[in-house]
Structure 1
Amino acid sequence: MQNKIIHHYRIIKPLGAGAFGQTYLAQNLKLPGEPVCVVKQLKPQSTDPESVKAAKMLFDREAKTLHKIGSHERIPQILDYFKEDQEFYLVQEYIEGKTLREELDSQQSWDESQAILFLQEILRIIAFIHSQKIIHRDIKPENIVRRASDQTLFLIDFGAVKQSCCDRQQPSSTIIHSRGYSPPEQLAGIPEPSSDIYALGMTCIEALTKATSKSFIQLRKTKTQKINWSESLRICPEFKSILDKMVCINSQDRYPTANCVLRDLEHIATSSPNNYTPTEITTSHNLHTYTPTELRADSFTDSSLGSGDFEQPSEASPILKTSAPPLKKKLNSRELSLELIECLKDKQRAPQPKKVVDTTRQWLRKKFLIISGSLIFTVVGLPLVLILNHIHKSAHLSNTTSSETVNSQETSAIFEEKSNFKEHSSAIKFLAFAPDRKTLISGSEAGLVKLRDIQNSSTTTLTQTQSQILAMSSSANGNTLAIATEGKLIELWDLKHHKKMNQIPTQQLVWSLALSQYSDLAAGVVGKIKLWKIQPKLSETKQLPDERSQSITFNPAADVLARGSADGTVKISHLASNKSQSFHKHSNAVNAVAIDVNGALLFTGSEDDTIRIWNLYALSEHILPTIQADLGGVKAIASSPAAKIVAGGGAYGTVKIWNWQTGKAIARSSNHLTEVTALAFSPEGQVLAVGDREGNIVIYTLK
C-alpha cells in the first residue's frame, strides 16, 4: 500500500490495524502543502457475511459520530468519507504524537498529581461525548494520544461507539470490548455511560502502578470485589476512593457521569491552596494539624488504651476532606480522665459551702420517699426477681445449648474433605461427574479440560482449546461434552472415546451452554438462544428470542429450557408448546441455574445473594422460602440427585448446603480463600466437588 494513491490520498505508511480496519498515514494531494492525514480502510479480519455486515455498520457509525462530535477540540475531525473499488475509506485529522500506551511502555509510573491531571483532561472529553448520547466503548491507552506540540491529550478511535438514547438498552448484537478495560455490563452487550468511566479508571490505575489491567481482574478482593491496587502507593485516601468508585464491578455503585468524577477531583485539587501534591505522612504530635475523627464506643478496646502514640487510620476510617490522611491518637483512659478533670477545674468556679449544704438538704427532702421505696425493693423484691430470672435463663440456655450442639454436630458430620488438588492455573468454569461415579470432568477459563479419577488420583488431559473457555456443559448420560470458546466455536467431544466429534462456528460469543441426554444443545448468545440436534447428524432446530443468558439448563426430559439473564430475569420455555414465561424476582444477574432430579423444580442463584425455587410446570415461583445465601453473591449452585438439598458457592469463598424445603442451612465450609466458581454432585449424591477462581478443586464427602 505504500505510495499507493487512493482517491486523492497518497499512502505513506501503515499506523495500525484493528478487528475491522487498517489505518494509514497519508497525504492529501488536493490541498496546498499536501498536509498529512489518517486514512482508515474498512478491512474486517473475518470474511463471513455476518462479520462483514457488522464491520460495515460500525464503520458507517464511526463516520456519522465523528461528523457529529468532531468539532470538539480534543477529538480528531473527520475530513472525508468515500467508497472506491468496492472499498470504504474514512479520512481524519492526524494528531502527531505518542499514544498513552507508548508512554506507559517507556516511562516510569505516574505520581498522583499526574494521574489527577490526566483524569481531568479525559473526563471533560467523555462528558462531552456522553452529552451527545454516545458511549465510546473502547477507552484504553492505545486510544489516547498526547500531541507532541503542546502535550494536549486527544481521544481517538470511535469505531466502537454506541448510541445511548434510552435508559434501558437492548443487548447489542455486536459486543465490543478490550480485555481488562471492559466492565461486565459491556461484556453482556449492554454498555452504559459509566462503562467508559470504568475503562478510564482502569487506564489510570495502570499508569499509577505499571501493572496491566488484565492482571487486576485476578486481584479483586473476593468479599468486596474491589481491586487490590494501592497498597504500595503513596496516594491520598480521597483519590483512592475516587478510583475505587470508578472501577466498581457493579455499574450501580460506579460514578453515573463524568461530571460527578470531575466534581470530586476538583475538591482534591482545591483542598490545598496550591496545586495538589501528595504528602508523605510522618508521625507528629502537633495538635494544630490533628483532624478529629468520629469515635465509636467499640473503638475503646484494650489494645487502644495505653501509650499516646499516633497511627494512621485503617481503610475503614471515614475519608476526610484534607490534603493528607488524618492521624488518630490512641487513647489512654487515665490521661483522658485527668484531662477532663483539669478542664472542669479551669472552667468552673468552686461552689460556696453554704449553698452546697442548702441544696443538698432540699434534694434529700424531695427524694426521701423515692429512696425509701428503692431500699425496700432492693432488700425484698430484687432477690426474688433475680431468682426467677436465673431459673428462666437456665432453662433457655439449656435449650439453646442443646440446639446449638445438634446443629454443630450435624454441620461437622455432613462436610468432610476427602481430597484437594490444583491442576488448573485459572478459574474453574465447569465441574461434572461422569456416570461411572469416579471420573470428574473439569474445565478452566484458560482452555484446559481434564478428566480425573478421584479414586486413584490419576488425571488425563482431554483438550487444551486455542482460546479461552466461556461456557461448558455435559449431557446427563455422560456421553458428550460441549465447550464454547472465545474463538466463536462450540467444540463437541465424545467422552467415552476421548475424541472430538464436531465443532460449530457460532459467529457470536456464546455465554452459556446446555446439553440434554437426548442430544439437544442450547447456546446462549446476545439476543437469542440457538438450539441444535447433534445426533445422528448436526442440525439447527430453532432459535428463541432472548437477552443475554448467563446460565441455561434442560430438564431431564429435554422438553423444558430454563435460563437466567444478566438483568436478573428468569425465563422458562416449554419447547413443545412454544410457551414461555418470564419472572423478575431477582434484582441482579442470575449466575447459575439447576433442576432437581425429578425435573419439577428449578433453582436459580443470583448476584443479589439469593437462591429462588421455581415450579417448572406451574410456570411460577414455588411456595417455598427464598434462601438468603450470605455468600457475597451466588456464583454456582448444584442440586443433589439423592436428597432434598441444594448447594451454593459464592464470592466469599464459602460453600453452603441447604434443605430447600425449609430454606435452612445444614452445612457450610469456608476452606476456599477465593471465589467459588463451580459445583457438582456425584450421581449418588454423596460427593460434592468444588472449584474456585484460582483453579483449586476440593472433593467433599457428605454424611
Structure 2
Amino acid sequence: MLCCVNPDCQKPLNSDKNNYCHSCKVELIPLLGGRYRPTRVLSDEGGFGRTYLAEDVHKLNECCVVKQFAPKLQGTGPLTKAIELFKQEASRLQELAEHPQIPTLLAYFEQNNYLFLVQQFIDGQNLLKELETRGSYNETEIREFLLDLLHVLKFIHVRGVIHRDIKLQNIIRRRSDGRLVLIDFGASKQLTATVQTKMGTVIGSHGYTALEQMQDGKAYPASDLFSLGATCFHLLTGVRPSQLWMQQGYAWVSSWRQYLTSPGRDGVSVSIELGEVLDKLLQLDIQKRYQSADEVITDLTPELPPLSSIPPTILTPTFLTPSFAATSVNKGPASPKPDNKLKSQLLLGSSILALGLGLGGVWYFQSRPNTVSESPEPISQPIQPQKSVSENSYLPKPFNGHSSDVNSVAFSPDGTTLGSASDDKTIKLWNLASGQEIRTLEGHSNWIWTVAFSPDSKILASGSADKTIKLWNLETGKLIRTLQGNSDGVTSVAFSPDGKILASSSASKDMKIKLWNLKTGKLIRTLEGHRNGVPSVVFSPDGKTLASGSWDKTIKLWNLETGKLIRTLDGNAESILSVAFAPDGVTLASGSKDKTIKLWNLKTGKLIHTLKGHNDKVNSVAFLPSGSPNGVTLVSGSSDKTIKLWNPVTGKQIRTLETGSGYIYAVAISPDGQSIAGGGSGENILKIWQMSP
C-alpha cells in the first residue's frame, strides 16, 4: 500500500497501482526523497503535516519514520525561511541522535512544498499502550522511569532543545533492551512553534503542558519537567491529565494525591520523598518548579553525588522577564545550565580580569581598576583588611529586556555600557547612565553563553552554544566577523590586556582553549590538557598567563608566550565553574560546584584559603578593582540565591545579599568598583547593587 502525503487527505491509504489518490485526487509520490516509500499514517498533526511509517528502498525496505511539516505559507520568502529553520533544527537533531535513547536522524529535505524529516524506527511499545496492558506503576517503577528519562532530558536541554510534548504516547520502551526512547520532537515541533505560534497554536497536550507554555507559547527546560511530572501522575494513577484538565483546568495539580485511590481501583501510595519530588515537578509557578533535570536526579538519589559533569544551572532558562541592573550582570549557558554557564571578566587597567561563572556555559564581566600593582605580591600584602559595609550600602536596581535567562554580562572598560547575553539568542547593549537599551545584536542561532568587551570598548565578543564566536562593532552594531573551529559550544571568551588576542574555551566535546589573532581572525594556537569542558578562562593583569577552570575539577595555568602548561592546581571535590585573577596578579580565586571558593598563590601553587558559606554551587567569583573606595574585595554568586562579599585576607564573610527567587549565575564589578551586578534565573534575572563608599 502507498500513502498519500496530502496532510488534508481524509483517506490517504492507496493501492500500489494508483497514480492519483482515490480520495483527494492529488498525485501520489511513490518515493519521498527518492528512497522513502510512505506506507501508513502513524499520527496526524491537524493539517500541518503527518508522521508516516515508511520503507527505505535503499536498505532492503527497512522501516523508518517520516515526519512531514506542511507550512501553509504564501510566497517564496516565508517558505524559504521555513525551510531554513527546518534545516537548522534537523542539524540540531543530528547532534541529538548521538544519544542512544533518541531516534537517529536519517535525512531531511524539501519536496513539493513540504518539508520532510526521516528518523530511525524504534521497535517497541509506547507507554500509553503499556499502561493500558499492564496497569499502573508502583513507586519503584516511577523512580526507574524518572531516572531513565531524566538523563535524556538533560542531554537535549544542554543542547538547547525543549521537547514541548512529553507524554506517554511519546515515550517508547524499546523491545531489544527495555530502555525508554523519547520520540516526536525536534525539527517539526520547533519549527511549528516558530512559525505558527503567531496564529495562536500552542505546541503541547492539554493536561501535560505547563502553564507558561499554554499561556504564552514559551517553553523552557522547566516546562518539560512539568510535563514529566504529569506523565508520572498518569503512570501512577491511570488517570489521564487531559481529562482532568478539560474538567477543571490546572486545579487537579494541587490535589493530585486524591487520585491515587480512585474508585474502582486499588490504592497506590507514594513515599514522602517521591511525593515532594512530584509536588515540585507539578508546580504551576515556574520559579518554584525544578529548573533542571539534574536537580530532580539529585533529589531522587540524595545518597549519590550529582551525576552531571555540567552544572545544572545551565539548564535553567526561566519564564519570567529578566531584570537588569545599571551596572553589570552575567549568567551562563545553562543554566542550562545546563547544566548549563557562567563567567565574568574584570578589566584591570589595560588588562582584563576575567571572572568566570559556569552553568553549563560561561559569562564574563569586565571592569578596569584605577591602578595595578607593578610588582605583584601575594594577596596578603597588597590587599589590606577592609572596613565594614553598612546595611544601606546596597540598593538594587532592576532593568527589563530579555525574554529568557541572562547568561552573561560585561561592563565596557570606559564604564558607559553594559552588555548582556541571553538564552533568547540575543545580546543587548545598555546605557548605564540612563538605563535605556541602546541596541540588540542578533546573529547567533543558539544560547549565547559569554560576552566580553575589548580594552578600548570598541568591540564586543560573544560565544554561543552554536559553536561560534562573533565579533561586533559597538559603534555601528554590525558584525565584524565570525570565528569558527570549535567542535562544541563556546563557554568563555576573554580579551588579552593589549586587545590583540582573544581566548576562548569550549564545552565537554571539545575541552580545548583557543587563542585568536583579533586583527586577522586567524587561530594562533590551541591549548590542550583538560579532560572535560572548560567553563572559564581569564588573562592575568600583565597578559603573560592564562588561567582556565574546568569541569575536570582542575585549574591550569598557561604560559601565553610558549603555549606551555605552567602548572595544574588541584583540590576541589567538584567542577570548577569560575576563575578570576586578583589585581595583584599573583592570587587567583576559583568558584566550584563543591560550594566553596578557593584562593591560590600562583607563585607557589599553594592554597591560601578555602572560603565556606554558600550552600550550593559557586557559579561566579569577581574581585573589586585595585584602589576601589569600597571595602569589599571579593564577591561570589551562587545557586543558593545569594551573593556574598568576602575579605580575602582573613577569609571571613563580610555580608550576604539576599537576591530573592532564582539562582545567581554570575556576578560582576563595575570599573569604578562602585557597583555589583548579579544575574541568574528568577523574577529579577538581573540586579545591580550600588555601593556607597
Aligned twin of 1:615 = 601
Give the drift of 1:122.
9.6
Is the 1:569–1:590 contact (alpha carbons within 8 Å) kept by the matching residues of 2? yes
Paired with 1:98 and 1:670, the residues of 2 have a C-alpha distance of 46
Aligned twin of 2:541 = 556
Is the 2:147–2:297 contact (alpha carbons within 8 Å) kept by the matching residues of 1? no
Aligned twin of 2:256 = 233
Change (3 A) 1:701 1:143: same
Query: What letter is aligned with 1:432?
Result: A
Is 1:674–2:662 an aligned residue pair? yes
Match of 1:474 among 453, 462, 469: 453
- Corresponding residue SS for 2:389: helix
Is 1:411–2:393 an aligned residue pair? no
Change (3 A) 1:693 1:29: closer
Give the drift of 1:677.
2.2
Is 1:487–2:466 an aligned residue pair? yes
Relative contact order, higher structure (CA 8 A, sep 6+): 2
- Corresponding residue SS for 2:691: strand
Change (3 A) 1:137 1:435: closer
Deviations 1:327-353 (A, max 9, x none): xxxxxxxxxxxxxxxxxxxxxxxxxxx
How many residues in Structure 1 have an aligned counterpart in Structure 2?
449
Higher helix share: 1
Please list, as runs of the form range in 1=range in 2, the aligned pairs for 1:224-373 lying within 5 A after superposition: 231-234=254-257, 236=270, 237-241=272-276, 248-249=294-295, 254-255=300-301
Give the drift of 1:470.
2.1
Aligned twin of 1:700 = 690
Aligned twin of 1:224 = none
Is 1:524–2:570 an aligned residue pair? no
Paired with 2:142 and 2:296, the residues of 1 have a C-alpha distance of 25
Paired with 2:594 and 2:471, the residues of 1 have a C-alpha distance of 33
Give the drift of 1:663.
0.9
Is 1:629–2:613 an aligned residue pair? yes
Is 1:38–2:73 an aligned residue pair? no
Match of 1:501 among 463, 474, 480: 480
Change (3 A) 1:532 1:116: same
- Corresponding residue SS for 1:536: coil
Please list, as runs of the form range in 1=range in 2, the aligned pairs for 1:588-603 lying within 5 A after superposition: 588-603=574-589
Query: What letter is aligned with 1:601?
Result: T
Change (3 A) 1:625 1:114: farther
Aligned twin of 2:428 = 450
Paired with 2:666 and 2:120, the residues of 1 have a C-alpha distance of 49
Give the drift of 1:118.
9.9
Query: What letter is aligned with 1:240?
Result: G
Give the drift of 1:410.
2.7
Is the 2:536–2:548 contact (alpha carbons within 8 Å) kept by the matching residues of 1? yes
Aligned twin of 2:559 = 574
Match of 1:605 among 579, 591, 594: 591
Is 1:660–2:643 an aligned residue pair? no
Change (3 A) 1:58 1:116: closer
Aligned twin of 1:4 = 31
Structure 1: which 5+ residue stretches go unaligned?
17-21, 67-75, 82-88, 104-109, 161-197, 211-228, 259-406
Change (3 A) 1:648 1:250: farther
**Which one has the largest radius of gyration?**
1
Query: What letter is aligned with 2:407?
Result: K
Is the 1:13–1:25 contact (alpha carbons within 8 Å) kept by the matching residues of 2? yes
Query: What letter is aligned with 1:205?
Result: G
Is the 1:412–1:667 contact (alpha carbons within 8 Å) kept by the matching residues of 2? no
Paired with 2:670 and 2:303, the residues of 1 have a C-alpha distance of 48
Aligned twin of 1:86 = none
When the two chains are superposed, the root-mean-square deviation of aligned CA atoms in Å is 5.5
Is the 1:603–1:611 contact (alpha carbons within 8 Å) kept by the matching residues of 2? yes
Change (3 A) 1:488 1:613: same
Is the 1:441–1:449 contact (alpha carbons within 8 Å) kept by the matching residues of 2? yes
Is the 1:568–1:588 contact (alpha carbons within 8 Å) kept by the matching residues of 2? yes
TM-score, structure 1 length as denominator?
Answer: 0.52
Aligned twin of 1:207 = 231
Query: What letter is aligned with 1:25?
Result: L
Query: What letter is aligned with 1:552?
Result: V
Deviations 1:653-697 (A, max 9, x none): 322211111111223322443322222212221222223323232
Paired with 1:26 and 1:121, the residues of 2 have a C-alpha distance of 33
Give the drift of 1:483.
1.4
Aligned twin of 1:26 = 54
Give the drift of 1:501.
1.2
Deviations 1:27-70 (A, max 9, x none): 5999xxx9x9623699xx9999xx99x969978x96xx99xxxx
Give the drift of 1:634.
1.4
Change (3 A) 1:98 1:473: same
Paired with 1:555 and 1:575, the residues of 2 have a C-alpha distance of 10
